[in-house]
């Protein structure tokens, strides 16, 4: 637990006689890869809309990565320079706490790499921001899986928000859909194609490639990591299942509570037989509320027929269908999202966080 000295965070307010009040927020980012750069570009592109529709403005005052360290620009980075990797406007902070204080953060965007085993150090980053009185927006699944309840309670106590729309299905509105627009609904279960890498690999295998060749093709396309084990072995899908269960169904699952079977054991004969019958194999994550408060969940390959809505989820697309007390299956799908889709989820969380505070 971090013991964070209290310090005052101010929000600049721009006014002129007869004009709307524009609130300007200091934004800081941890993790500044493709998604972080897409977020800065999207914020800049939407700046006029943010000002005119939501009376919101911003400046990016902090960026941090393992390679760059803790960079601060108290008066704001020039967006074009930041996107192009020009950090000449920055000074350096000593550590996380010094960085948050120096950049006077109002909003933290957490987009560092996932640690599927512990969720750290992203949890520590978010906890420190909330303690400092800043909203925390996460594209990292780790804090959602391992500390959602604690971080949400801390955010409430500090009068700020912890949102994480981009942590599960890029920018598709999954968490906010139920939080904002479907009050009093009961989620009884869900199923979904939650991992795009396995989707691409299985499609390559369905076209006649070996498993190893399909993995190499997914890596060539930039879909699979150098070590694709988290995807192939069902870990990434299981992480998402845990996040959805704990946030939307009030569960308390751990990663080890979700039995998982990846796609390594699928044989060419199984794929060929499915292809000949018009079926497809997909890696499916499922959860269902059993008797009382018990929730069962698993991840494993399933053979789907053309009548199944998940059958047509192809390429890097994702889809999840929720069983509720009202809707037999409410399906949320996204087709071949790119980094800007993930960035949009963070942008929407930012707007919703500051509007509700």
What is the set of active-site residues? 240
Task: Give CA torsion, residues 132, 136, 138, 140, to 10 deg.
Answer: 20
User: Which phi and psi angles does 102 have, rounded to 5°?
Assistant: -70, -35
Dump the DSSP string for 141-171.
Answer: HHHHHHHHHHHHHHHHHHT--EE-THHHHTT
Q: Which of 346, 341, 309, 262 is nearest to 31 (CA)?
A: 346
Distance set, CA 46 to CA 13, 50, 166, 185, 351 (Å): 19, 6, 18, 33, 11
Q: Are 108 and 30 in contact (CB under 8 A)?
A: yes
Distance set, CA 108 to CA 58, 79, 133, 156, 350 (Å): 12, 17, 10, 16, 9
């Amino acid at each position: 637990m971090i013991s964070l000295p209290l310090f005052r965070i101010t929000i600049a307010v721009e006014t002129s006689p007869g004009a709307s009040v524009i609130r300007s927020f200091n934004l800081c980012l941890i993790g500044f890869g493709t998604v972080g750069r897409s977020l800065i570009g999207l914020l800049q592109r939407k700046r006029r809309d943010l000002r005119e529709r939501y009376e919101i403005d911003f400046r990016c005052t902090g960026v941090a990565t393992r390679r760059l360290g803790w960079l601060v620009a108290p008066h704001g980075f020039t967006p074009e320079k930041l996107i192009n990797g020009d950090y000449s406007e920055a000074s350096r902070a000593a550590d996380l706490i010094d960085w948050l204080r120096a950049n006077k953060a109002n909003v933290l965007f957490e987009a560092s790499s996932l640690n599927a085993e512990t969720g750290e150090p992203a949890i520590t980053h978010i906890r420190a921001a909330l303690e400092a009185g800043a909203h925390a927006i996460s594209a990292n699944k780790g804090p959602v899986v391992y500390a959602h309840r604690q971080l949400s309670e801390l955010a409430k106590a500090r009068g700020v928000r912890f949102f994480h729309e981009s942590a599960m299905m890029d920018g598709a509105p999954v968490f906010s859909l139920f939080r904002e627009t479907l009050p009093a609904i009961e989620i009884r279960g869900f199923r979904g194609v939650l991992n795009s890498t396995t989707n691409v690999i299985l499609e390559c295998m369905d076209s006649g490639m070996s498993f190893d060749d399909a993995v190499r093709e997914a890596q060539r396309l930039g879909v699979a990591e150098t070590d694709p084990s988290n995807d192939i072995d069902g870990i990434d899908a299981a992480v998402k299942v845990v996040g959805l269960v704990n946030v939307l169904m009030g569960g308390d699952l751990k990663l080890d509570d979700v039995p998982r079977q990846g796609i390594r054991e699928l044989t060419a004969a199984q794929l060929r037989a499915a292809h000949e019958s018009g079926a497809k194999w997909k890696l499916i994550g499922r959860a269902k509320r059993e008797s009382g408060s018990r929730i069962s969940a698993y991840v494993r390959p399933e053979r789907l027929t053309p009548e199944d809505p998940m059958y047509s989820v192809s390429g890097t697309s994702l889809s999840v269908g929720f069983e509720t007390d009202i809707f037999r299956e409410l399906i949320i799908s996204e087709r071949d999202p790119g980094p800007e889709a993930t960035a949009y989820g963070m942008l929407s969380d930012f707007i919703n966080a500051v509007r509700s505070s």
